[in-house]
Structure formats: structure tokens, C-alpha cells
Structure 1
Amino acid sequence: MKSDFRFSNLLGTVYRQGNVIFSDDGTKVLSPVGNRVSVFDLINNKSFTFDYEHRKNVSRIDLNKQGNLLISVDDDGRAILANFKARTVLHHFNFKGKVHDLKFSPDGKLFAVGCDRFVQIWKTPSVGEDRQFAPFVRYRIHAGHFADVISITWSKDSRFIISTSKDLTAKIWSVDKAEKSLAAVTFSGHKDYVIRAFFSADQEKIYTVSKDGALFQWEYTKKNQDAADDDDDDDEEEENEEEIDMSKYSWRITKKNYFYTNPNKVKCATFHQDSNLLVIGFSNGEFRLYELPHFTLIQQLSMGQNAIQTVSINSTGEWLAFGSKKIGQLLVYEWQSESYILKQQGHFDIMNSLTYSPDGSRIVTASDDGKIKVWDVVSGFCLCTFAEHQSAVTQLQFAKKGQVLFSSSLDGTVKAWDLIRYRNFRTFTASERIQFTCLAVDSSGEVVCAGSQDSFDIHIWNVQTGQLLDTLSGHEGPVSCLAFSAETNILASASWDKTIRIWSVFGRSQTVEPLEVYSDVLSLTIRPDGKEVAVSTLNGQISIFDVENGKQIGNIDCRRDIISGRHLEDRFTAKNSSRGKYFTCINYSFDGTAIVAGGNNNSICLYDILNEVLLKRFTVSSNMLINGTMEFLNSSKMTEAGTSIDLVDRDGENSDFEDRIDSTLPGSNRGGDLSTRKVKPEVRVTSVQFSPSATAFAAASTEGLLIYSVDESIIFDPFDLDFEVTPAAVNEALNEKEYLSSLVMSFRLNETRLINKVYESIPAKDISLLTANIPTVYISRLLQFIGDFAMDSQHIEFNLLWIKWILATHGKYIMSHKYELTAALRSVQKFVARIAKEVVSISKNNTYSYLFLTTTDGTDERMVQSEELVQDVQDSDMELDTEDKKEMEEEINGEEEDNDGGEWLGFNEKKSTLVLEEKDDDDDDDEELLD
């Protein structure tokens, strides 16, 4: 098994704070997520998160016009310069102050920073002639505001900057010192903070927007007294003057407009110069679109009841991006068609459980907020949200085929969800009202088991009928963990009575011998073949038991491998702390050779079972705003009483009244609203699981859903290479029609382009002979290549022939090495499933098209023939089956219904229309669905 896992993506959280921006082509959205930055590709339906981390949450980000440099700044003013295309960190820098805004100039040569009450202009790092030792070189600094600078706006020609401040003014600055006299103006007159200021497209007008809802239009005109004097003078003398006296001109307010939104305040604003479109976001979740300079209201909509923190508009002026901090919501809106391109929101609270779908394409998460969310691994978007549970959801489990999901909750129910129609179709309850904390589903999907801390019994239900079949008694304490074997029908359970029991659910006798454990069991996992069980205990050990012999065959001491940080309220060091020195969740890999573990600490550990050693350790987060991420505290922030200054509540010192309001409940850690906390959140991992493809694993943590995967983007990764294997030798063998030799050599070079060339050059008639003679060591690589290549290939039958003959000639080898070939088989399975789905869809569409074309025409002769055809159909009693009628009705209704679960809306670039994600409209019965 490969162990070179790396952080690849962050799901479950789409926005935390700061500003959201578009890329220059307008197809990507960049959003700050905690101390990281996520990128959402709206056209290709993909997303990724940069692997670098800030010390605190990101407050401002900006991308240059060329699209290759990204600067992100955290709350302390520490900046990271990254190459956006290569996703690598170039430089770290500290601005030594609170950065309120950051903007690149339109020409990309400079960038401006609003730090405290100063406007700093810096040179953009480049490979030009003036190479400097320091990547960041300050060009100019402007000081004139008496309070913090809120925003910065560049002119279109990159010559001037407008800054707005909390001192109720806006100022215009020149970039070059020679033009200082042209731009040394203060715009005053507002009665509240000036939120933003903008240049018009011709740079002859300036618009300023204040927090109290006032919009002022400024123009460079003559002063009133000078204008009156000029009327008395001769006009001919003024025309003869070669130079205009600039002293008679000044920036003056020519128009005042108001939004009239009291008591709501303006929170953010943006302006698109080419289309004169002004977008305003308010504190009540409302946003408006105006056309300037006429101040015409175009649209007025609301994205909720919470304040809009940021708004951005793409380069074409078609898409708007909004971010709401309180509920962590990110929204992309196309204002011309009045439809949402993207509408995503994470969980309100920390995730309790996660599970992969059997094909590895989706992850389902559950949280204390009672919601279940289905996430797409590639796009990173939430496809559906289930909110039927009335309390915290504790565990999730998929049935074998992946069409049914089971969930347990503290509301005393276990629910079954249909992931084809996205609905709840079964609810299981016990004879008494108890809270279920663990869940297990057998491999056939016919039986579901659940355990509770209120009862010592294990409850078993029949999924087909929903009836309670049996209760397994034997444990002398609350049942904490349950797990079914993937291949055998054995059920493993763990309890607080320090025992593990192995049950044969479908057997005649339910008497089992307990396996003694020397500490409380926190988590349990069973190997996919059902021969071994591993448990994590409170004393920091992972114990491995042989199921058949009932003996312990291995033990891993994890206490030294765990990184446990120090909390702010601790009076002792992290070294002397016993907090978090154990793992609360573990999971077997699909080949059964490794275990991944996580707990209430800052570590995710990957262990080799055979040698009982640590393979790799991952740090969950480096965010200093989360308790437990720092091993040592800063002594300069310690008071004489030995407590940290960060524990002091400074909300009453905020300058804004709405920020000073404390809506939390006394003594509550969560507060009156779910986003406010009086104490810092603690770093912890609540659930870990390997992907069925064996190339990734996911961890539900305080920061979100972390995805770690094996980097397969290496260009040159040869396999069994020698001096005779070269691209020239491959081409020579291919020209001589030595297909087997050329294919083997291309796999040994492991160049995708070369493998593709050889693969498509092999005639279809020779596939059966070639697959029979290919060495078995190349079967895994061939299956993986076909699975990845076939997804974008147009040669459907050609690829299916390859898969058919590989399975026919090497089926025994594949069955005996299925754990090694898991990733390759999953990719092939995904391709075959997509082909089957498309064939069924095309067949249905062609059937209806044929009926339409054969029954409708403009001529009278065709009308007569269609009437005769209809009469013949009625006479022969040819009617559609009820199942077909239901399918047609669901297809028609499915186009009109809107999914309530925050489903991804993708943009079709060819048709310039919005299309919903295609759903499988197969309407089988629930019983057929569970088979």
C-alpha cells in the first residue's frame, strides 16, 4: 500500500471570513476558508484547496490580472505570496499591522495595502530587470487618514488610488510623485464610515458609498465663485487661452442618492466599470443592483437573514459572488437570468461522522446540527442536504451498492435514505425511547444494527419490513462501537465493560465469548475480510485481535506518536498533559495492511499493522485561533495570574455597535447563535475513513472535511525500466506490429501519451490474443489506464472489449488480488456505470422521439396515418405499463421541481444556460433498490 499521502482538498466549509474574488477569466471563485484558501472552478465543476496554512484565519486575498500571483493575509498582517498556477509558496512577509484591504494594480506592476491608517504601495515581485534581493519592495506610503483604512480602489490606468476610512472620508492618492499635485484631495461629507469608492470608466466621476446608505457622485468641475466670474468675462478671451487654470477646478458633489434601508446598514459594495453596475450588500442579507449614474434599481433580492460580508463581480459583469460569515455561506448569482450558479453552505457545528460511497465519488457527513450532507469529492460541492433528524446525527453507513444510506441519531431513530430520489423511506425505532450512538449495516443491506449508551443491548432491524427482529444481549455496559465485516456476516461490538464480542447475526446460536480488553474501548474497526478486529482504547493503545482464534495478535503504542497541544487555560505544559493521548476513531485500509487513526488532538497517524510502526503523521491544523494547535504559549501574552491575554473578551472595544452586541447565553460554549463561541474551539478529529479506491482517506475535523490523497500527477514514473526501453523502441515495435512488446514497454516507461498511442493502435481483432499473453504484473496498470482513459474517450465499444477480455482471461488473478487492484477496479466500474446510465437515457429519449416523429406531421396524409396508428394502438390494447407511466411522470415533474438540498448548478458553456445535475430517474420499488 502507498503511504505518500498529501493534503489535497478541504470540503464541508466554503467560506469563513474575508473577501471573495473571481479570477480574471471569471470562471473561478477564490474563497478564504479558515486559515486556507479554496478555489472553485465553476465551468469544469472542480475545486481544490491550497496546502499552505496561515497562522490565523485569512482576512484578505487578491489575485493579479495575469493570474499567476496570489497574496493572502491573515488577521495579524502576515502575508503569503503563492504561485497560483503551480500552487507553491514563494515568500512569507509580515506587514506588522491589521490589513483591511489588498489590491493589485490593473497593470500588475504594483499592489496597494490598507494597513491600519496607512496606504502602502509595493512593487509586485517579477523577473524583470530590477531584480531585488527582497521579493517585497515598498514603493510609496501615504499617511493622511485619522482612522483605519477600510478599502482601496485603483484607477483603470493604474495612476491613482482611492482609499476610504473610518474617519468618514475618502482620499485620492497618486502613484507617481510627479502627479502628487493632481491627486491630493479629501472627499468629506458622509455621516458614517465610507465603505467603498469607485472610479467611473472614463475616470471623470468618483462614487463613494457610506455605511448609512448614502451614495455621492463627485465630478471635477469649476468652483462656484469662479464659475460666476467667468460668466462676466469675455468668452473669446477664455477660448484664446492655451492652458486651463487648474486652480479654478475641484472635486465637487454633483449628485446625492440614498438607499433608505434604516435600520439596516451597508456592509459591502462593488462596481463594474464597463457596465456601470453597482452591487450593494446589506446587514439583513439583502442585496441590490443599480445602474449608474442614473441610480436605476435593477434588482432587489435576499440571500437570507444574515449580513453579507463580501461581494465580488467577475470581469464580464455577469456573475456575482456573495459571502456570509455568520452561516458560512457562499453564493454565485447570475443576475441577468436571475438564477444561482452556486449556492453552498457548510455544517453549523462540528462533524460527527463521515462515510464514503462504495464507488468513492461521494462523501456523506453528519453533524450535531442534525443535518446530513452529501459532498461530491471532485467538485467539493454539497449535492443534497437531509434535515429530517430532530437531534444530533451520530453515525453514517452505506449499503453495499451505495444507493441507500443509513444514519443513527440521538433523537432515538435510525433512518434509511434513498440517494437516487433523495428522500427518507424507512425509519427504525426501538421499543423504548433511547439515543442511538453507533450503527452497522451488513454487506447485503438487509439488516441494520444500532447500539446506545442508554441500553446494553444491540438492536437489529429488517430493512425490507422495518420491523425490529432481535436484541442481542450480553454486554454489561453501554455499547460504544459496532462494525460489520464487508465479506462475512459477522458483527463486532465493543462496550464500556472493556470487552469485544463477535456475533453471528444469521446463525442459530447467539452465545459468544467476550474478548477482554484492559481499558475502555473508544473505537472499533474490522478488516474487510473479517479475519481481524482492531480497537483503540483509552490508554493510548491500538490492539489487534484474531477473530477465528479469539487471541490478541498485535498491539501498537500510540502515545508517543500523538502531538498534543497546550490550551490557553492550561496551567501546565503540553508535555505533562494527558488530554488527547489516545485515538477516538480508527479505520482499516482496504488491503488490510494499514490503519489510519485520529482523536481529540492535532495528529492523524498512519500505521503499518504487520511491523507495528508509524508510517506517517499528519498535522490537522496550524491555526493559532484553535485550542490545542500550539505546543508552547507565548509568554509575552501571559498575565501575572498565569492566564493568557487572549482569554480576555474584547468585544466591548469594537468600534461598530453591532460588533459590540453579545447575543450569547451565559455559561454556554456555543452561544445564542450557533456561530458564536465564548471559548475557542478545540482541534479534534471525530471520524476517519479510507476511500474505496485506496488512494485517499478523509478526516472530519474542526477545520472541516480534510481529504488526503496520493499524488498521481507525476510526469515521469518508470516501472521496471532498463536501457533498451526507450520511446524510439516503442515506436519501432509498434510500426512492426509487435503490439504486445510495444504495450509492455510503454507501461514500463509509464508515459500517458505513449501508452495512449499504443493502446489506440491495437486492432480490435487482436485484443483477445493480446490480453491472454500480457504478464499479470501489468494487469493493474492496464485496468487503471483504461478506467481513466475511457471516461473521456469516444471509443466506447473498443474500451468495453478490452475490459471484457481482461476479465475473461485474468479473472482468477483479479479475484485473488482484488485488494491490490481496488483502485483500478473502481475506475473501471465507474466507467461501466456511466455507459450503462447513458445508454438507458439515450434509449428512452430515442423511443419518445420516434413516437413523436411518427405521429406528428404537417401534411393531411400524415395526420390520417397518425389517426389510424392511434386507432390501431387502441384496438390492440397497447398501453404503457404503470411503471413506465410513473417513470414518464417523474421525468416531467423532475424538471420542474427544485432540489432543496443545495444542489450544484453547473454552467453549460456551449448553450449559455443553467443545467441541473443529471439524476437517475429509475423509479424502482424500495425493495428492489435494496437488493
Structure 2
Amino acid sequence: MKSHFEFSNLLGTVYSKGNVIFTPDGQSLISPVGNRVSIFDLVNNKSRTLNFQNRKNIYRIALDPRGTVLISIDEDGRALLVNLKRSIVLHHFNFKQRVQDVKFSPDGRYLLVTHGHHAQIWLNPSATIKSFTPFHLHRTYTGHFNDIISLSWSPCSKFFLTASQDMTVRMYTVNPVEGYRPRNFTGHKDAVLGAWLTGNLTDPNDEPRVITVSKDGACFVWRNKDMVGQDDDDSNDDEQDQSSTNSVTSKKQCSTLDQVRWGISSKHYFNVAGTYVTTCTFDRSTNILVVGFANGVFGLYEIAKEVGSFSNIHSLSISQEKITSLAIDPTGQWLAFGASKLGQLLVWEWQSESYILKQQGHYFDMNTLAFSTDGQTIVTGGDDGKVKVWNSTSGFCYVTFAEHQSSVSVVEFAKQGTVIFSASLDGTIRAFDLIRYRNFKTFTSPNPVQFNALAVDPSAEVVVGGGVGDGFEIYVWSVQTGKIVDILTGHEGPISSLAFSPLGDKLASVSWDKTVRIWEMYGRKNGVEPLQLASDGLAVAFRPDGAEVAVSTLDGQIAFFDVAEGKQKSLIEGRKDISGGRKFDDRITAANSASGKSFNSLCYTADGLQILAGGNSKYVCIYDCQDGVLLKRFEISENLSLDGTEEFLDSRKLLESGIPVNEINETAELSDLDERLEANKVLPGSKGGDMSRRKYKPEIRTKSVRFSPTGRCWGAASTDGLLLYSLDDTIHFDPFELTLEITPASITQTVEKSEYLKALVMAFRLNEKYMIKVVYQAIPFKEIKIIAAQLPTVYVPKLLEFISKSAIDGSSNHLQFDLTWINFLLTSHGRYLKNHSNQVGPIMRSVQKALLDSHSSVSKLANSNTYMLRYLIDQNNLHSRSATSQLDSPPPSLLTQRLDGDGDVDMS
């Protein structure tokens, strides 16, 4: 069993905080998820999470106009420069304080960031130019008296606007202009959340405007009051026309912006009572202003070119909490919204008034997960009482069950994969149908029990549950009738975990009474001998062959028992392996913090040789069961915003009294009343963690780990969400860039050099059918196996489609050649094609049709030839038999015939 699993995706969390952005093509949405970044493909309906991590939760992200370089900045101002295509970190940089906003210039040359009261422009650290100093400071701009909230560029990349909490907006030039002083836009009565420059000075019907929006719901439109130095402007325009006749309109516009005097043209108010503006954005191409409010409502407004034009297109409530992020795609048709508190991410098409994407993760922690039999579906349960079903390939949740009234502790799949069972602390176990999406059975106990243990037999006819109650009993229900068929007694403490054997004839239960019991479900004996443990039992798991059971205990050990003999076989001391990570209030080092560490979830691999274990730590461990050694340890998160991820605490963050700075309550400094009330929750059950603490910091831990039935993937339900680790490379990268050198002549030269793989990829990049055919037919037959195995996965569907179309339209006469290609492509990339069956399904059906057509034509010809040969053989045999019969017949008698003179025969 291989153990080199790598992070592949993050499910269960779609948005946490920060800003969301669209890619330049408008087909994908980039969202910060904790200290990671997720990309949602809105056209192909799939998502992926990049495998880099920031030090803390990401606060701002920005993408360059080419869509190749991404910068992500965390809460402390530490930035990562990332190659988006390969998900590789190119550079680390520290801005040394929180960055409120970051924007790339439209021409891609500059990077504009906020820096407290100042703004800074850095030269764009390009991914194509190698440099020892990717970040080079161009200029620093001052003038504001409070923090700058947002930034925006002019279309020509020569001017930019800054909006600040000091209720003003300022316009700066990128490079110094003689006689120009930064323009100051004043008049708002609250913090300005956004400002944008739009319009065109050369078009009299579309003069330049500055649009500003403040927190109190006011929108001001600023226009040109008058032009000073008209002669100078004309001369400048004439000089520019003479120097470059092909200059774009935006360049002409910005040549005179430095001489414009701005004044308020019109004032507009959103008039949404009882709330305030939280975020806003503007699209220049459609003149659409989108405003998000604290009550979950957003408004769509059109600010036309005419003076005083301001119309509300429509308003819609999309969330119960405030909208924290807004984005408009390049076409101006799709609107993206993020709600931080609920973890919601939505994409709305405003013209058709329909959702393109609507996703929400678990509101509280995720407690448990389970894989379906084919590994394509994952079900999770959380503290919010919801059961969510996810597609492992697309990464999206497609159904949510909200029938439970309390936390969901365990979920299990039936073996058929169409029914899921969930146990909750509300005292019920529910069965859900994944075909009709309904709760068709509810199982309850005679006495109130908070169920935190659940097991389903392989036939899905019996379900058992246990938990915390008065009698510490295990209840057995019939799935068909929903009635209790048996009650298993004997434990003296709460039931912590249950597991059925693969055959379903045995049930293992572990309890806080330091025992594990093996029950014979059918024809069991009167008494069950308990197997003693060294400490309280936490989790139990059967080996796939059913001959061994593993139990984790509170002291960090994993004990293995022989089921037949009832004896302990081996013991793994895992406390030192899972130890690590120091909480902000710990008084001991991370190396000595193993006292409270233990495994609370176990899962065997498919072959039963290794076991996966996770618990209240930032590590997940894989052990070899036979030798009892640690094979690999995975660190599930490096997020310092979570408690327990640091190995060493900074003594500078301690006060003189020894109290950590993190425990100081700073809620009184928050500007909004809603934020102060949110930070000071006092209602019972409304806040997690220790209620005696002044501040609560989420702790990194793993509540459940499971292996996929395929054995090539495992998942962990953690504080960050559902983490998936896989043996398959999920990043499909094309190593050959499309450049001007890729021409038919260069492809032909590559073929002549016998670089067939490179030539084939270049032909696909050029996307000319005749060149693909030339390269395809030039590949030697003996090279097919090697090239098919090395072909990048992004081109496998394209090559299969080309082969199938060539076979269908009759342009290919190389049947054996085509069949050999198809054989080796399916052999080398079969798993990828199966996992992406939704995307390659039409292509595979086309291949199947081509094979059936080829089989039909070849079979007809072969049958015709066969019948003709049989006819010829039969005819030959017929003639042979007739000739043989003539040779084998007796010769006529020798008669002496004499003829008389009269002609009679004379016989003598």
C-alpha cells in the first residue's frame, strides 16, 4: 500500500473571509477559504483548491490581467506570489501590516496596495521574468488621515483612486505630473467604501465621472466642472496625435484628467432602512453599480451617462447575514457574493434572475464523513445539525438534509450506496434516500440517548446505535420495520464507537468503561467477555478480513485484538507521534504537550496492512499494523489563525502579567455595533470552546478520517473542512506553451527529429486537424505504448475524440493502429477517465460508437469472406468427390466386338 498521499482538494468550505474575484475569461471564480484558495469552474461545474497555504487566514487576493499570477495576502500582511496554473509559490513578501485592498493595474505593470494611511505602488512581479527582487517599490502616496479601505485604477493605468475611512477620496497619478496635486473628493458623512473612475473625455456624450459610495448608503457622482488651460490641453492632444496615431481612447482620456476640476453632479441614496452598506463594486462596461448591505440584501443600480440618471434595476435578499464580498465578471452578467459568517458563496445572473452557483459549507465544525462504495460521493455531518452530500469529482454539495435538531455525530453509507444513516445528539438516527432525497425512516430509543456511535451491517437490514444515556445500552433496529429488535447491555460507561465486521455477523463496541466487546449478532452466546483496555476507549475499527479489530484509547495508544481468540496481538504507542502544536495559553512546550493527545478516529486501508488515525492534533498518522511503525505523518494545516498549529510561542506576545495578548478583549474598538455584539455573544450554546475565556480561538483537530473504497484517496473532517488526500495528480498541466514558434513548419521539423510526443502536443495546441493527422500517422507503431503513457491528461480526451471522429467519418484506414492507440490510452489513463466521467462521457460514447461501427463493418466483411471461402471450399470438395467417384468406379468388361458385314455385333 502506497503512503505518499498529497493534498488534492478541500470540500465542505467554500468561502471564509476576504474578497472573491473572477478570472479574466469570466469562467472561474477564485475564493479564499481559510488560509487556502479555491477555484470554482462555473462552466464545467467543478472546483479545486490550490495546494499552497498562507500563514494565517487570507484577507485579500488579486489576479493579474493575464490570469497567470495570483497574490494572496493574509491578515498580518504577509503575501504569497503564486503561479496560478501550477499552484507554485514564487515568492514570499511581508507588507508588515494588514492590507485592506490590493489591485493590479489594467496594463499589468503595477501592483497597488493599501498600507495603513498610505498607498504603495510596486512593480508587477511577473512570472515570466526571473528576478532576485520580485517586489520593487515604485512610489508611496500619502495624504489620508485614516486607513484606506479600497482602491481602483483608471482604464489607462495612469491614475488611481483611494477611498478611506476619513470620509474622503483622493486621486493620484502613478508618475509625477508637473503642477498636479492629488484631487480630494469630500462631502460624505461616513467612511467611503468604494470609488471608481469611468467615462471618456474625448466623447462629449460620455464625459468622465467619479462615482463614490459611502457606508451610510450615499452615492455621489462627480463630473467635470470646467477645464483650465484649454490651450495647453489642445496642444497636448495635438502632440499626442502626432506621436501616435493609433493611441487608444483611454490614453487620450487620461492625458487631460490631471487638469479636470471635479464637482458633485448628483447625490443619490439607497434608502434601505435599518442597515448599512458593507461592500460595493462597479462595472464600467455596463455602468452597473452593485451594493451589498448588512441584512443580506443586495441592490443593482444603473448609473447612466445622463446627468442625474440613477435607477434601481432590482433588489434581492440572498442571505440572512451581511454580504462581505462582491465581484462582477468581465461581461457584467454574473455577480458573485460572499457571506463570511454563514460561509456562503453565490453567483447570480442578474438578467435571467437565476443562480449559477449556490454553495454553503457547514456553519460549525464538521464532525464526521463517509465514502460511498464507488468513492464518488461523500457525506458529511456537522455541529449545525445538517447532513450534506458532496461529489468528490466536482467538489460541490448537491443535497442538504436539515431534519436533525442537534449536532450530527456519525454518518454511514449503506453498502448499496443509495441510503445514508446519520446519528445525532437530538436522540434520533435517520435514514435518507439519495434517489428521492427524503428522510424515509427515523429510529428512536425508549430512553433518551444522545447518539454518538452508529453502525450499519453490510446488508443494510440492521442498524445499531449507542451513546450517552442512563443505561449505556446499544440499540438494534430493523431498517424495514423501524422497530427495536434487540438491546445489548453490559457496558458501564457511555458508548463511544461501534463497528460491524465485513460479514455482518459480529459487532464491536468500545466504551468509556475501558472495555471493548465483540457481540455475536446472530446466535450469540448469553455472555460476552469484555476485553480490557488501558484507558477509556474512543474508536474501534474492523480489519477488512474481519479477523482483527483495532481500538484507540484516551492515552494515545492503538491496541489490536484477535477476534477469534479474544487476545491482544500488538500495541502502538502513538502519543508521541500525534503530539505537537502549542496553544496560545499553554505553559508547557509542544514536545511535552502529549498528555491530552489521542486518536478519536481509525480506519484500515483496503488491504488491511496499514491503519489511518486522526485525533485532537494537527497531525494524521498512517501506521504499519504488522510492525507497528509510523509510515507517514500528515500536517493537515499550517494556519496560525487556528489554535494549536504553532510549535513555539512568541514571548513578545505576553504581557507583563504573563497573560497572552490574544486573550485581550478588543471588541470595544470595533466600529460597528453589530460587530461588537457578534464578538460578545453570551447566549448559552452560541459560542464554542471554553466559556470562561475572554476570547475563543478555533483549535485545529481531526474529528474523523476515512479511506475511500478505491484505496487511492482518504479524507479527514477537520476544523478547516473536509480535506482530501490522493495518490493521483489532480493538477493537469500542459508543459508546452503556445508561442509564435508553434507553426506547421516547426511541427514538421519536430516530427523529423523523432520528438513525437512534443510534436503531438504542439499539434493539439495549434488545433489544426490536418496537422494532428500528419503527426498521428507519423508515430511509429512501436512508440505508441510509451507516448500514450507520457501524454498529458489534458490531451487524452482530445486524442480519443480525434481517433473516434476519424473512424466514424471514414478518413482513417488504419484500424489496428487506432485500436492500439485506444487500448494503451485506456490502460494508462483509465482511472482519470473514470473519475472525470461527467466531462469525457460524450467522448467515450463517441469512441464506443466508432468501435461498434468498425466492428460492424469488419465483421460484415469477415463474414462475407468467410462465407465465400466456405462456398469455394465446398465447391472444390464437390468437384473433388465427383472426380474421385469416377476414378473409383469399376472399368467396363472387355468385350470382343466384331462387326458383321451387315453391321451386327458379333460376339465371340
Tell me what 1:202 maps to: 200
The structure-2 alpha-carbon separation of the partners of 1:534 and 1:156, relative to structure 1 and needing over 3 Å to count, comes to same
Aligned-partner Cα distance in 1 for 2:464–2:665: 46
Matches within 5 A, 1:279-290: 279-290=290-301
2:841 paired with 1:792: yes
The CA deviation string for residues 427-467 of structure 1, in whole angstroms up to 9 with x for no partner, is: 11122222211000011111111112213322111111111
User: Any conservation in 2 of the 1:488–1:529 contact (CA below 8 Å)?
Assistant: no
User: Would you say 1:220 and 2:218 are equivalent positions?
Assistant: no
2:512 to 473, 478, 496: 496
- How far did 1:660 drift? 3.2
Moved more, 91-100 or 617-626: 617-626
Secondary structure of the structure 2 residue equivalent to 1:9: strand
Shift of 1:132: 4.4
User: Where does residue 560 of structure 2 map in the other structure?
Assistant: 544
Give the Å deviation of 1:496: 2.0
2:540 alignment counterpart? 524
1:174 matched to 2:173: yes
Normalization by structure 2: what TM-score?
Answer: 0.78
Partner of 2:718: 701
Say which SS state the counterpart of residue 792 (structure 1) adopts. Answer: helix
490, 499, 502: which is aligned to 1:483?
Answer: 499
What is the distance in 2 between the residues matched to 1:743 and 1:802? 19
- SS of the equivalent of 2:579 reads coil
Match of 2:628 among 576, 589, 612: 612
- One-letter amino acid of the counterpart of residue 73, structure 1: I
Question: Is 1:441 equivalent to 2:451 in the alignment?
Answer: no
Change (3 A) 1:246 1:77: closer
Q: What pairs up with 1:355-370 in 2 under 5 angstroms?
A: 355-370=370-385
How many percent identity over aligned positions? Answer: 47
Query: Which of residues 255, 260, 265 is equivalent to 2:271?
Result: 260
| Contact 1:413–1:428 (CA under 8 A) maintained in structure 2 | yes
Tell me the CA shift for residue 509 of structure 1. Answer: 3.6
CA offsets per residue over residues 258-308 of structure 1, 9 Å max, x none?
112243111111111011111111111111111113111111111123111
Change (3 A) 1:759 1:72: same
- What does the per-residue CA deviation read over 1:525-561, in whole Å, with 9 as the maximum and x for residues that have no partner? 1112212111111121111122223222222221221
**1:308–1:324 contact (8 Å) kept in structure 2:** yes
Cα distance in 2 for residues equivalent to 1:263 and 1:736: 72
**Residue number among 346, 353, 371 corresponding to 1:338 in the alignment:** 353
Indicate whether 1:557 and 2:561 are aligned. Answer: no
Pairing of 1:455-854 with structure 2 (within 5 A): 455-507=471-523, 509=525, 511-661=527-677, 664-666=680-682, 670-671=686-687, 678-712=695-729, 784=831, 787=834, 791-792=840-841, 794=843, 796=845
- Give the match for residue 339 of structure 2: 324
Q: 1:167 to 1:536 in 2, by over 3 A?
A: same
Deviations 1:839-884 (A, max 9, x none): xxxxxxxxxxxxxxxxxxxxxxxxxxxxxxxxxxxxxxxxxxxxxx
User: 1:348 touches 1:674 (CA, 8 Å); kept in 2?
Assistant: no
Task: Determine if contact 2:663/2:694 at 8 Å carries over to the other structure.
Answer: no
Q: Is the 8 A contact 1:34 1:703 kept in 2?
A: yes
Q: Distance in 2 between matches of 1:316 and 1:673?
A: 45
Aligned equivalent of 1:384: 399
Q: Relative to 1, partners in 2 of residues 1:120 and 1:765: Cα closer, same or farther, differing over 3 Å?
A: closer
Question: Is the Cα–Cα contact under 8 Å of residues 668 and 678 in structure 1 kept in the other structure?
Answer: no
Higher mean displacement: 579-588 or 691-700: 579-588
Deviation at 1:748, TM superposition (A): 7.8
C-alpha contact 1:462 1:468 (8 A) present in aligned 2? yes
1:304 corresponds in structure 2 to 319
Task: Show the 5 A alignment for 1:877-892.
Answer: none
Q: Which residue of 2 aligns with 1:109?
A: 109
Give yes or no for contact 1:28–1:41 (8 Å, CA) kept in 2.
Answer: yes
User: Secondary structure in 2 aligned to 1:661?
Assistant: helix
* Alignment correspondent of 1:871: none
Cα displacement (A) at 1:201: 3.7
* Alignment-derived partner of residue 413 in structure 2: 398
TM value normalised by structure 1: 0.76
Pair 1:160-2:175 in alignment: no
| Deviation (angstroms), 1:781 | 6.2
Structure 2 residue ranges without an equivalent (≥5)? 202-207, 240-254, 734-753, 758-772, 853-908
Structure 2 distance, partners of 1:571, 1:793, is 61
Cα distance between partner residues in 1 of 2:695 and 2:210: 42
**Residues 743 and 759, structure 1, Cα contact 8 Å, conserved in 2:** no
Provide the secondary structure at the position in 1 that maps to 2:101: strand
Gaps of 5+ in 1: 717-724, 804-931
Residue type matched to 1:342 in 2?
Answer: L
Cα separation, partners in 2 of 1:246 and 1:297, compared to 1, 3 Å? closer
Contact 1:669–1:677 (CA under 8 A) maintained in structure 2: no
Residue 5 of structure 1, CA deviation: 0.6
Deviations 1:621-676 (A, max 9, x none): 22222111112111011112222111101111223444333564449684399999
d(CA) in 1 for partners of 2:465, 2:358: 34
Distance 1:326 1:497 in 2: 40
User: Judging changes above 3 Å, is the alpha-carbon distance between structure 1 residues 247 and 350 closer, same or farther for their aligned structure 2 residues?
Assistant: closer
Is the 1:479–1:496 Cα contact (8 Å) retained in structure 2? yes
Report the alpha carbon displacement of residue 714 of structure 1 after superposing the two structures with TM: 9.1
Distance apart, 1:570 and its partner CA: 2.0
| Residue number in structure 2 paired with 1:869 | none
Please show how residues 19-30 of structure 1 align to structure 2 within 5 Å. 19-30=19-30
CA distance in 1: counterparts of 2:690 and 2:849, whole angstroms: 51
Larger mean CA deviation between 483-492 and 792-801 belongs to 792-801
- The answer to whether the 8 Å contact 1:580/1:601 transfers is no
Q: How many Å apart are 1:89 and its aligned residue? A: 0.3
CA separation of 1:247/1:50 partners in 2, compared to 1, >3 Å: closer, same or farther? closer
Letter in 1 for 2:699: E
In the TM superposition, residue 712 of structure 1 has moved relative to its aligned partner by 3.4
Q: Which has the higher contact order (CA 8 A, sep 6+)?
A: 1
Residue number in structure 2 paired with 1:14: 14
- Per-residue Cα deviation, 1:68-104 (whole angstroms, up to 9, x for no partner): 0000111111100000111100000001112100000
State the match for 2:866 in structure 1. Answer: none
Superposed displacement of residue 479, structure 1:
2.0
Q: Which amino acid aligns with 1:75?
A: E
Give runs of aligned pairs for residues 34-53 of structure 1, distance below 5 A. 34-53=34-53
Measured in 2, the distance between the counterparts of 1:355 and 1:708 equals 15
Secondary structure of the residue aligned to 2:320 is coil
What SS does the corresponding residue of 2:452 show, helix, strand or coil? strand
Give per-residue Cα distances to partners, 1:398-444, cap 9 Å, x unaligned.
10011000111111111110011110001111222222110000111
Structure 2 contact 180–258 (Cα < 8 Å) conserved = no
- Counterpart contact for 2:689–2:696, Cα < 8 Å: no
Q: Does 1:192 align with 2:190?
A: yes
1:347 to 362, 370, 374: 362
CA contact 2:57–2:639 (8 Å) conserved in 1: yes
Q: Distance in 2 between matches of 1:28 and 1:631?
A: 37
One-letter code of the match for 1:678?
K
Comparing 163-172 with 507-516, greater Cα deviation is found at 507-516
Name the CA shift for 1:349/1:506 in 2 (closer, same or farther; >3 Å).
Answer: same
What CA distance in whole angstroms lies between the structure 2 residues aligned with 1:440 and 1:539?
Answer: 24
> 2-side partners of 1:350 and 1:14: how far apart?
14
Give 1:206's aligned amino acid.
V
Q: Supply the RMSD in Å over aligned alpha carbons.
A: 3.9
- Equivalenced residues, count: 772
